[in-house]
């Protein structure tokens, strides 16, 4: 019953009643409990499922040997592809405050992708391609920009055709890239991210 996803996206976890989910799935309310022991278990399973899907798509598409610019582009396009294929799933896992009902296992999953992105950034920084700032900062900026764009798209404020996507990708690369004639080329050490 992953069409429970739609409800959670629309009204949030606490704003969604199990009967609503059941109605949307065209089953009886009790039926859901044959597959999920509780509402919380249901969100967590949903969350883990889609988080895994993104991660596997990204890991699979990631061009190991390519340059940082290409790696960035591929990751970006892959995530966009996912967000277009399953817009609800993307909105659900990225734009909700899950803190109050996700279990530890789900939270742990969340860290993996960001860990990966951070390490990629670190490598690019050592090559002088990316600004020598805290990789966490860079990653959050880019990911935040991405989410903002997708949210605007979902809410109908922005049309996302291939050209716009390509433009956005270049703009986000600019966010983290070292530009000729700017002070970042000197290899300043990045600050540590967390106390």
Partner DNA sequence: AATGAATGAGGCTTCATTCAT
Partner DNA sequence: GATGAATGAAGCCTCATTCAT
3-class DSSP assignment, residue 46: helix
Taking CB under 8 A as the rule, does residue 28 contact its own copies? no
Nearer Cβ to DNA (38/167): 38
How far, in Å, CA of 6 to CA of 107, rounded?
A: 21
Token readout for 95 is: 């734009």
Taking CB under 7 A as the rule, does residue 153 contact DNA? no
Taking CB under 7 A as the rule, does residue 40 contact DNA? yes
The 10 Å Cβ neighbour count of residue 176 is 21
Among 32-40, 61-69, 75-83, 140-148, which window interacts with its own copies (CB under 8 A)?
A: 140-148
Taking CB under 8 A as the rule, does residue 189 contact its own copies? no
How far, in Å, CA of 160 to CA of 162, rounded?
A: 7
Taking CB under 7 A as the rule, does residue 35 contact DNA? yes
Among 27-35, 48-56, 117-125, 177-185, which window interacts with DNA (CB under 7 A)?
A: 27-35
Please report, for residues 44, 87, 105, 123, 134, the alpha-carbon distance to residue 118 in angstroms, rounded to integers and kept in the order given.
25, 25, 21, 9, 9
3-class DSSP assignment, residue 130: strand
Residue 148, contacted partner among DNA, its own copies, none, CB below 5-8 A by kind: its own copies
Taking CB under 8 A as the rule, does residue 119 contact its own copies? no
Binding site for DNA (CB under 7 A): 16-20, 27-31, 33-35, 37-40
């Amino acid at each position: 019953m992953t069409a429970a996803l739609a409800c959670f996206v629309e009204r949030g976890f606490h704003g969604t009643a199990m009967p609503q989910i059941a109605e949307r799935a065209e089953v009886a309310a009790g039926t859901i409990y044959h597959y999920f022991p509780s509402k919380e278990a249901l969100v967590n399973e949903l969350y883990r499922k889609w988080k895994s899907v993104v991660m596997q798509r990204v890991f699979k598409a990631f061009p190991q040997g390519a340059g940082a610019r290409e790696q960035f582009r591929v990751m970006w396009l892959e995530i966009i592809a996912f967000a277009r294929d399953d817009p609800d799933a993307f909105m659900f896992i990225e734009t909700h405050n899950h803190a109050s009902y996700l279990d530890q296992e789900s939270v742990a999953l969340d860290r993996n992708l960001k860990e990966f992105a951070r390490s990629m950034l670190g490598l690019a920084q050592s090559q002088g391609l990316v600004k020598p700032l805290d990789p966490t900062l860079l990653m959050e900026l880019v990911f935040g920009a991405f989410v903002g764009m997708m949210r605007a798209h979902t809410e109908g404020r922005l049309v996302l055709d291939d050209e716009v996507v390509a433009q956005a990708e270049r703009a986000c690369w600019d966010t983290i890239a070292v530009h000729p004639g700017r002070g970042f080329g000197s290899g300043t050490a990045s600050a540590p991210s967390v106390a």
